Amino acid sequence: MDLPLDQIRPFYRAMKAFNAILYRQENLVQLKMKPGEMFALDNRRVLHGRSAFSATGGTRHLQGGFLDWDEVYSRMRVLQAELGILE
């Protein structure tokens, strides 16, 4: 981080305030997933993270993947046309 000395404290105050806003209860969505469930999000539009995990008698498997959004939107348009669904 390349900040002038007089901007360091205000920067950290702003970061602390921003972090407090992020963790307000009304800004959180918490999910406890079951085996076989999937969760998808647009990584460019959502801040996300994971809380602590304790593997008591089980394992944790996280699989990442990527979608080509042009292909997704094209497929949605085709399916909407085939099914007669209007936006």
State pLDDT tens for residues 13-48.
999 999 999 999 999 888 888 888 888 777 777 787
In-domain check, residue 21: yes
In-domain check, residue 17: yes
DSSP string, 35-77: TT------TTT----------SSS----------HHHHHHHHH
| Pairwise CA distance, residues 11 & 6, whole Å | 9
Domain that includes residue 22, residue range:
1-32
In-domain check, residue 27: yes
Better-predicted residue by pLDDT, 23 or 61: 23
Cα 45 versus chain centre, distance: 7
In-domain check, residue 16: yes
- Total structural domains within the chain: 1
